[in-house]
Amino acid sequence: MKIKWTTLFILLLLVIVIFLIVGDRSGEQETGDLSLPDEEVEQVKHKEGYGVSSSNPVAVEVGMRVLEQGGNAVDAAVAVSFALGVAEPYGSGLGGGGTMLVLPKADAEPVVYDYRETAPKEGRKNSTGVPGLVKGMHEVHHDYGVKSLYDLLEPSVEIAEGGFVVDTYLSQRIHGARHRIDQDAASHFFPDDEAIKGGETLRQEDLAETLKRLQEYGLNDFYEGDIAEEIANNYSDVSKRDLEEYEVVKTKAAKGSFYGYNVYTAGPPTAGITLIQMLQMAEAYKLDRIDKTSADYIHLLGEMAKQAYNDRLSNISDPKFTEIDTEKLASEKYSSKMASEISTDELSASFDVNDTPADENNHNNTTHFVVMDQDGMVVSATNTLSNFFGSGNMVEGFFLNNQLANFSSNDKSPNAYEPQKSPRSFITPTIVRSEDGDDVMGIGTPGGRRIPQILTQVMISAMFDDISIQEALDQPRFIVEDDEIFIEEDMPDSIVSDLRNKGYLVKINNSDMFYGGVQVLSKFGEDGEVTGAADKRRSGVWKARSTE
């Protein structure tokens, strides 16, 4: 008996010593790089965690703070949306719109909130549509939010009023769009008549006052109060009545299948159907088994893009104005028929892809983010002004969109301009989920007309290659447009020769902006691990923490 108590005492001492050496490891863990955009981001997984993925470190911090203070994924998404309008004013903001895909819980069906801009009820066709972002945040928060809107707006007020340090990326965007921006209204972007430089602090006092007003009087003030008056008075094509009558559209997500996974994405008038069709054609051709660097892979993916993009022109538009059979267009049968028309050896005849001023000028300036909370709620959202800084017109501290450039130039198109209609868009917020709900991934990207091609390439590699999501994002991308193939870096001469023999022109375009900036978070497996990846092309950032 004495020996047993001695042994027990020694074991207890050992336990205490080990605890003192190792310390308490049950607290939070985190990852992601919130310093300079070009630093390496460590790839770490976390059990039973939550996270935010965005192109902006300020927005990621805002979203994480909301999650840590008891908010859910929708609360964080609302706060991130407002914060991005402050920290990335070229990409989205109060004067724009977007689309948000919400997965309320693991075993639920996602809901789409379409708060994209609409054409005014009266007046001539111009560039600016009726902004929808603020009403979209109001609606999604009303349905799912648990924290007060006042609190969710507070971080953006602080950032706008106190300022933030401008990075080189924002400075370059301001400089590049200086000829389109109303510099009198946006003088704080141009100190000494030059674009604000990286390392300087940007304060947006007018925007801060607008956000404070939304805190005090509610988000409806944007559509019915003094802010609405200012918009109508400063931009006559958008009237007070247009703002008062604006409505968010809530629908179920477009749904397709991809190797046994359910793909949920935004339906018409956005490009979710186009992505589903490309993924299902890729499955029909077993594209995951083909060498990603081969001429055959590049050719087939390009042909699939042409089929899906061409189909989009005749079948995708605002469903409030045109009856659209979404289930048929997203079916495997429909995709298989398109796939059967592809030649594996020859370059197809030219397909129409572009039919809008925005397509021709490649309005590629959207911002995407993903949020996951510890209870299984997932948000995948894409917000936009259409082009960089939208129309360039600033009202009450925010830029107005130029979304109406996304209407077709062809008056007979289903995407032709009509009052109170939303134009077509390539934005494609997406959620992928396994049948049992254990695996889920939120994903999306900016990139204009190249979005479906970018996402298809990344999703094939991320889901089926034996590599991490980060490695999938880091792989060189290519874009096929008619008989031209744009690549990020040199290809072996043999592959270039094979492509030229098929009739392609191969060109290097090493502009990061050209190839999007994918934002992604995923939980794979029953242990609920959270992982993400940061796309170096647009200074991507992600952060996650464990709740253990």
Binding site as annotated, residues for L-glutamate: 116, 448
Cα Rg for the chain, rounded, in angstroms? 24
Catalytic residue flag (residue 382): no
Q: For residue 36, give Cα distances in angstroms to 54, 88, 237, 469, 529.
A: 14, 16, 41, 21, 26
DSSP E strands: which ranges in 341-402?
366-372, 378-384, 394-395, 398-399
What are the residue ranges of helices labelled H in 316-356?
Answer: 326-329, 332-340
Closest C-alpha to 546, from 326, 384, 347, 372: 372
Structure tokens at 55: 């192109």
In Å, how far are 235, 240, 363, 385, 545 from 122, measured between CA atoms? 13, 11, 25, 21, 49
Task: Extract the tokens encoding 241.
Answer: 């009545």
**Rounded CA separation 184/161 (Å):** 19
Vertex 251: Cα angle to 248 and 257 (nearest 5):
140
Quote the CA–CA distance of 447 and 455 in Å, as a whole number: 10
Of 326, 366, 430, 456, catalytic: 366
Closest CA relative to residue 507, chosen from 210, 298, 231: 298
- The DSSP code for 444 is E
Which phi and psi (to 5°) does residue 317 adopt?
A: -165, -175
With a CB cutoff of 8 Å and minimum separation 6, the contacts of 92 are 81, 84, 85, 98, 133, 366, 367, 383, 384, 385
Cα 533 to Cα 539: distance, rounded to the nearest angstrom: 11
The angle at the Cα of 485, spanning 481 to 491, to the nearest 5 degrees, equals 165
Specify the pairing of strand 505-508 against strand 484-487. Answer: parallel
Are 440 and 531 in contact, with CB atoms under 8 Å apart? Answer: no
Q: What is the rounded distance in angstroms from the CA atom of residue 509 to the CA atom of residue 513?
A: 10
Strand 394-395 to 249-252 pairing = unpaired
> What are the residue numbers of the active site?
366
